Amino acid sequence: MSESVQTHVDGRVLEVILDRPKANAIDSPTSQELGRIFADFRDNPDLRVAIITGGGEKFFCAGWDLKAAAAGEDATTDFGVGGFGGLQELPDLNKPVIAAVNGIACGGGFELMISTDIIIAADHATFALPEINAGTLADAATLKLPKRVPYHVAVELLLTGRWMDVDEALKWGLVNEVVKADQLLVRAREVANLLSEGPPLVFAAIKETIRKTENMDFNQSIQMLNDQGLPTVKKLYNSEDMHEGALAFAEKRSPVWKGR
C-alpha cells in the first residue's frame, strides 16, 4: 500500500482514504492503485460496503494531477482497471460505495464522487467541473451528470465551470445528506454499517438492474427481470437468502443473510 491511498477494514466495511497533499489529486499510479483496491473489494465476499473519502479537511479530490499531466499523462494513459479514480469504469461492482466528501470535489474528483452510490457531504464541501476553462471535456461528468440532477442544472455546470455550494447540491439531489465536518465519517460509518447488515444479493441485483436497464424502455427492462436475464437477479431468485427472507418474516425475526 502506498502513502497516497490508505485502507482500513472494520467488520464488513472497507474505508479508502485518498491522501495526496495538498489537493488529493490523482495521477496514473494512484488511479491504478484505487482500481486494484476497489476490484479486490468487489471480489472479496467478506466485504459488503466501501467508503471513500479524502485526507485532510480541505479537499475530497481536486481531480487529475496537473503536474502528472504536464509530465506527459493524457487521455490515452493507463489509469487502471477502474478507469480514472478506480471506480468510473470498474466492471460488475455490485456492492454499495459511499462517498464521504470532506471538502472540495472538482473535475475528476467530482466525477469520482458521482461514481459512488450514496454521497454524504461535510457542510463546507464545494463542487465544480472547471474543465471548460482549460478547453477540455469533463467526459464522465458529461455522460453521468444529466442523469443525476435536472438537465439544465447539469448543462450549466458543464458550460460555465462555476462552483456549487453544498446547500445547492443538496437542493438538486446531487448529495444525499449534509453534516458537520466532524460528524462526516461518523455518519458515513453509520450508513455503511446499516448497509453491511443488509441482503448483499439484493444490493447486487439492484445495482446491476439499474446499470443494465439504464437505456432500455420499461417493457424491455421488466421482461429482462421476469426472464431472470441478469446474473445477479437469477442468483437472487434461486438463493438461500431469498428463502431466508420469507422464513424470517413468517417467524417474526431478523433474517440472517449469507450471500448465497
The answer on 132 and 69 residing in a single domain is yes
Q: Residues 12-33, buried b or exposed e (16+ Cβ, 10 A)?
A: bbbbbbbbbeebbbbbbbbbbb
Q: Identify the domain boundary among 160, 180, 196.
A: 196
CA neighbor of 26 nearest in space, from 99, 107, 102: 107
Catalytic residues: 111, 131
Q: Write the DSSP string, 10-74.
A: ETTEEEEEE--TTTT-B-HHHHHHHHHHHHHHHH-TT--EEEEEESSSSEEE--B-HHHHHTT--
Question: Which amino acid does the sequence have at 211?
Answer: R
Predicted confidence (pLDDT) at residue 7 exceeds the cutoff of 80? yes
Dihedral sign (CA 55, 58, 62, 67):
negative
pLDDT in tens, 109-144: 999 999 999 999 999 999 999 999 888 889 999 999
The answer on 204 and 185 residing in a single domain is no
Segments forming the whole domain that contains residue 222: 200-250
Mean pLDDT (whole number) for 76-91: 91
The answer on 204 and 183 residing in a single domain is no
- 75/98: higher pLDDT: 98
The answer on 228 and 123 residing in a single domain is no
The answer on 74 and 113 residing in a single domain is yes
C-alpha grid cell for residue 203?
444490493
Residue 258: inside a domain: no
Residue 260: inside a domain: no
Residue 239: inside a domain: yes
Predicted confidence (pLDDT) at residue 1 exceeds the cutoff of 60? no
Give yes or no for a contact between 219 and 253, defined as CB atoms under 8 angstroms apart: no
pLDDT in tens, 227-256: 888 999 999 999 999 998 899 899 889 999
Beta bridge partners of 51: 15, 98
The answer on 102 and 56 residing in a single domain is yes
Domain harbouring 56, CATH code: 3.90.226.10
Residue 32: inside a domain: yes
The answer on 166 and 70 residing in a single domain is yes
Residue 119: C-alpha distances to residues 28, 65, 153, 217, 238 (Å): 24, 23, 18, 27, 32
Residue 255: inside a domain: no
CA neighbor of 94 nearest in space, from 211, 14, 175: 211
**What ranges make up the beta strands (E) of the chain?**
5-10, 13-18, 49-54, 59-61, 97-101, 104-106, 118-122, 126-128, 164-165, 177-179
Mean pLDDT (whole number) for 78-92: 93
Going edge to edge, which strands form the sheet with 126-128?
59-61, 104-106, 126-128, 164-165
- DSSP β-ladder status, 59-61 and 104-106: parallel
Residue 103: inside a domain: yes
Q: Which DSSP state fits 77?
A: S
pLDDT in tens, 13-25: 999 999 999 999 9
Number of Cβ atoms within 10 Å of the Cβ of 186 = 11
pLDDT in tens, 93-110: 999 999 999 999 999 999
Residue 256: inside a domain: no
The answer on 140 and 222 residing in a single domain is no
Residue 106: inside a domain: yes
The answer on 174 and 104 residing in a single domain is yes
The answer on 168 and 53 residing in a single domain is yes
Q: How many domains does the chain have?
A: 2
pLDDT in tens, 131-184: 998 888 899 999 999 999 999 999 999 999 999 999 999 999 999 999 999 999
Mean pLDDT (whole number) for 36-59: 97
**Phi, psi at residue 110, to the nearest 5°?**
-65, -45
The answer on 21 and 138 residing in a single domain is yes
Q: Identify the domain boundary among 179, 196, 213.
A: 196
The answer on 64 and 184 residing in a single domain is yes
